[in-house]
Amino acid sequence: MYYESRNDKLKEQIMLFIFFVSVISLLIILIIKLDGNKANQAEINNYETSKLSTENEQNVENNIQKYINEVVKTVVGISKLKQNGTSIFLDNSEQKLGLGSGIILSDNGYILTNQHVAGNKYSNCYVTLENGQIYDGTVVWADNNLDLAIVKIAATNLQYIELADSDKINLADEVYAIGNPIGIEFQRTVTKGIISGIDRTIKLQEGESSSYMEDLIQTDATINEGNSGGPLVNTKGELIGVNTVKITEAEGIGFAVPINIVKPILEKLMNTGKFEEAYLGIYGYDKEVIPYLESNLEIQSGVYVASVSADGPLFNKEIRVGDIITKIDDIEINKMNDLRKYIYSKSPKDIVKLTIKRNNIEKVLEIQLGQRM
């Protein structure tokens, strides 16, 4: 009996041990399985995330392509003489004049380009649309300091470009330049790049005379001869600037004029059908240009008065070369383009208050704006 009882206890202990081992094994199996499920789920989640990211990237890329394809339809060719052929390699001198670019701004035929492409106000040119139609064009506004011009053609129901806010661009933003490099053989060429710099100032040298272009957008998107006047657009296909010049001494350095400077002009043209340009009669430089002019002059803000036009409303007033314009009405001025844009928003004979500084003494002048003919 004693041995039987002892054997029974031993059997119970063995059975209990087997039970505990079984339970522990089952728990280990469950833990491993759960971990495996988690790992599998993590792999599935990573795959889904990667797939979604790839799909999003593809959608973004597809949208960009769609936007750019639409922009291309708004890019026109502009020439001073009609193109009688289709090749830029013919001996005919008219073909050799080549082709500049322009951008349709409205459905009723306002087109933005460079002044050096279309010419001065009232000049005539020829505009070739994306479908091959050629229209006579007339320059209704031009500014050689900005190297911008607006051409009008007698057309309706045109596809036109949307305008961005060029004050909201950032370094490294992706951009696309579109135009007609070299000539009609390569019309509406698209190049891709980024915004390499903002508010750039460059010096232009023509013979012994020099001038400056300010507040430019710098890009590494390729800009060649013939691209002048074409659009620089963002990834939404919105116009941020007008391609105007490249640095010939280096690759990948091109410049565009920000679009915001033109908006007051376009608004008046669209609302009234004409633009009567108010005229202040001064030419000024941003503070970034001052080191090129006078090494001992430093200004912290405002616009440096470089010249006063003899036919302008400021001639014989209490303003002279070297004065600093700090305000117009109640608006602080730190860039010449800000001053231009404000004047563009006004009308001839409007009264403005100009705050100038000379030898750290401020003076307010009341000026009646003239009219540029």
Residues forming the active site: 116, 147, 228
Cβ 184 vs Cβ 210: under 8 Å:
no
Cβ 151 vs Cβ 102: under 8 Å:
yes
Q: Residue 281 corresponds to which amino acid?
A: G
Q: Which residues contact 261 (CB under 8 A, 6 or more apart)?
A: 146, 148, 337, 340, 341, 344
Query: For residue 276, with 0-12 CB atoms within 10 Å meaning exposed, 13-18 middle and 19 or more buried, which class applies?
Result: middle
Quick one: tokens of 56? 């999003």
Backbone phi, psi, residue 27, to 5°: -60, -45
Beta bridge partners of 356: 325, 363
Residue with tokens 């036009």: 309
Q: What torsion do the CA atoms of 283, 287, 291, 296 make, to the nearest 10 degrees?
A: 100
Q: What torsion do the CA atoms of 277, 269, 230, 171 make, to the nearest 10 degrees?
A: 80
Cβ 101 vs Cβ 228: under 8 Å:
yes
Residue with tokens 């941020």: 240
Q: How far apart are CA 202 and CA 199, in angstroms?
A: 10
Q: Which residues contact 229 (CB under 8 A, 6 or more apart)?
A: 78, 100, 101, 102, 103, 112, 113, 114, 117, 118, 179, 242, 243, 244
Half-sphere exposure of residue 289: CA atoms within 13 angstroms, side-chain side: 25
Q: How far apart are CA 34 and CA 40, in angstroms?
A: 10
Residue with tokens 């491993």: 32
Cβ 111 vs Cβ 104: under 8 Å:
yes
Q: How far apart are CA 4 and CA 13, in angstroms?
A: 14
